[in-house]
Amino acid sequence: MIVFPNCKINIGLNVLNKRADGYHNLETVFYPLPFYDVLEVIQSTNKLKTYELLISGTTIQGNDEDNLCIKAYLLLKKDFPQLPAVKICLHKVIPAGAGLGGGSSNGAFMLMLLNNKFNLKISEDKLRNYALTLGSDCPFFIINKPCIAHGRGEIMNPVELNLPGYKFLLVNPGIHVSTSWAFSQVKFSNEDKISNIIHKPVEEWKGLKNDFEPVAFEKYPAIKNIKETMYNAGALYASMSGSGSTVYGIFTKDATINHSLFPQEYFVKEVSL
């Protein structure tokens, strides 16, 4: 069985406060984009290994045991010991550690794939609970529709937000921004609620802030330069996604964007809905 895990962007991201459990309360809009990895699971005949992971495409740092596809498999294997050994083939296209949720999407789609392939009959609510143990934004990919998220990101309310008349430009400079470091440096938000702005036209979204931007921009001016370049190129709205380092711009669908405005070594991708 093959599935296509997609990425997401954050439209606005307010860090409200730190919780007693060490996590932070957030407010953000998760918006899915049609830009995909490829994930395939095959029942294995290898009796010596519970799982095998084959990764192609973009390089991923770390051990197999840290991959969220493996963690998702082992999480379900604990509660569903009848799960057979599997071979997992993951082709990475979405940049890793880039604020686009690629790893989280892989983990969530792995849960759904195993549920469907092996007829585990796990409800959507239960899948979301499993996903939350993998990461704070993993539950979003179980729903995979635009929503306003609160709490750690797991409390989600659908939002009517259709952007078919626009194209998105994703630019990643290859800089790794540590999420834990970013949380340790961020100043808590006192911005207007995202829900007060998100229903306005895209041209009026400049009031939507990502609280991680000042932290990332100060340490990595190249990320700030990407955002400024997008606005100079005609973006209606531009923002860093998550804790970075990907910056996205929203343009009219007929806009012609000069990719050479960005250094050749940057990852640059246009996405249309």
If one counts the domains in the chain, the total is 2
**Secondary structure (3-state) at 43:** strand
Flag residues of the chain having pLDDT under 50. none
The reported pLDDT for the residue numbered 164 is: 86
Residues 260 and 209 in one domain: yes
152-185 pLDDT, tens digit each: 999 999 999 989 889 999 999 999 999 999 999 9
Question: Could you list the residue range(s) of the whole structural domain that residue 116 is in?
Answer: 2-158
CATH of the domain at 213: 3.30.70.890
Q: How many percent of the chain have pLDDT more than 70?
A: 99
Options 92, 137, 227, 269, the catalytic residue: 137
User: Over the stretch 188-201, which tens digit does the pLDDT of each residue have?
Assistant: 987 668 988 999 99
The model carries a pTM of 0.94
Same domain, 127 and 193: no
Same domain, 153 and 182: no
Determine whether 137 is an active site residue: yes
The reported pLDDT for the residue numbered 192 is 60
Strands (E), the chain: 2-3, 6-18, 24-36, 38-43, 51-57, 86-92, 147-150, 155-158, 166-172, 237-240, 247-252, 267-272
Q: Are residues 82 and 119 in the same domain?
A: yes
- Of the listed 8, 71, 92, 269, which one is catalytic? 8
